[in-house]
Amino acid sequence: MTDLKSSSTTSSTDEADRALKSKHRAMWASGDYPALAHDLIWSLGPRLVEAVDIRPGERVLDIAAGTGNAAIPAALRGASVVATDLTPELFDAGRRHAREAGAELEWREADAEALPFSDGEFDVAISSIGIMFAPHHERSSAELLRVTRSGGRIGLLSWTPSGLVGQMFAAMKPFNAPPPPGAQPAPLWGDEQHVRGLLGDAVTDVHAVRDTVRVDRFASGVEFRQHFASHYGPVIAVYNRNADDPEKLAALDAALDAVGDAVLEDDGGMRWEYLLLTATVR
């Protein structure tokens, strides 16, 4: 006998998950993330590719690849690369960057929590500040492990909770909607113990290091906030949510200005902290 209550609950959960993913896709398609990624953090992709030691002929999956800051340098090493993302609107910029670099790779729309690939299909799976934004960490980490062959390698580069981007998300939390049930904060992927817990006994040879990327674009917290409010989907979404409340908008401005000012160094630069973790799948 079919359990009608269970079936109804599952259907409702699936519908809510589809709505959440649709919202995420629209959020990342808003603003101009391709420009922000290229101008500020493009160097993180080659850093990840070097750390995971991608080699010619390897089959590589880049999860939540965005515009390809890791996928493109992986392809330039001679790997066969599939770049995936929930937001295919980002692929136009990625394809342009690939052409300019002389790289050939495949671009494919895919959800990090339900990857359309076979078990063990890839020699290497990577993600540069991408998989961290999938809302259900257990699902996306399970998929990351599932599609990587035994003896294959994974490489993850994620913003830390204590770094600038983690602080920015913490500052926006009072102005944001409550997270859906089961969703976890993205910067937790920058917490080594959290990631080790997600990967568990499925990996060995885990190596994790905290490092920073230097950003010289902003002379003040105000400039930092203005740029993110016009380019970065998660920040744009928070401003849209509070658009009808001038007092909240002013408080949000002040909170983000303070985050930027707090990491501004004497010479005018900023250092944004990230966690780089590599491991071998058992």
- SS3 call for 177: coil
Helix (H) / strand (E) element for 277: namely strand 270-281
**pTM for the structure as a whole:** 0.94
Distance CA 102, CA 95 (A): 10
- Alpha-helical regions (H) of the chain: 4-29, 33-40, 44-52, 71-76, 91-101, 137-146, 164-172, 192-199, 221-231, 233-241, 246-263
Cβ-proximal residues to 41 (8 Å cutoff; 6+ apart), any chain: 69, 129, 213, 215, 272
Spatial contact of 165 and 187, defined as CB atoms under 8 Å apart: yes
Residue 14: the pLDDT is 83
Per-residue confidence of the chain (282 residues) as pLDDT tens digits?
456 544 444 566 788 899 999 999 999 999 999 999 999 999 999 999 999 999 999 999 999 999 999 999 999 999 999 999 999 999 999 999 999 999 999 999 999 999 999 999 999 999 999 999 999 999 999 999 999 999 999 999 999 999 999 999 999 999 999 999 999 999 999 999 999 999 999 999 999 999 999 999 999 999 999 999 999 999 999 999 999 999 999 999 999 999 999 999 999 899 999 999 999 999
The per-type count for the chain, helices as H runs and strands as E runs, is 11, 7
Q: How high is the pLDDT of residue 6?
A: 46
Q: How far is CA 141 from CA 129, 154, 202, 262, in A?
A: 14, 11, 11, 32
Vertex 100 angle, CA 94 and 105, to 5°: 50
Structural class in CATH, domain 17-215+269-281:
alpha beta
**What b/e string do you get for 67-98 counting C-beta neighbours within 10 Å, with b at 16 or more?**
bbbbbbbbbbbebbbbbbbbbeebbebbbebb
CA 278, CA 282: separation in Å to the nearest integer? Answer: 13
Euclidean distance between CA atoms 155 and 147, whole angstroms: 13
B/e letters for 249-266, b = 16+ CB within 10 Å, e = fewer, are eeebbebbbebbeebbee
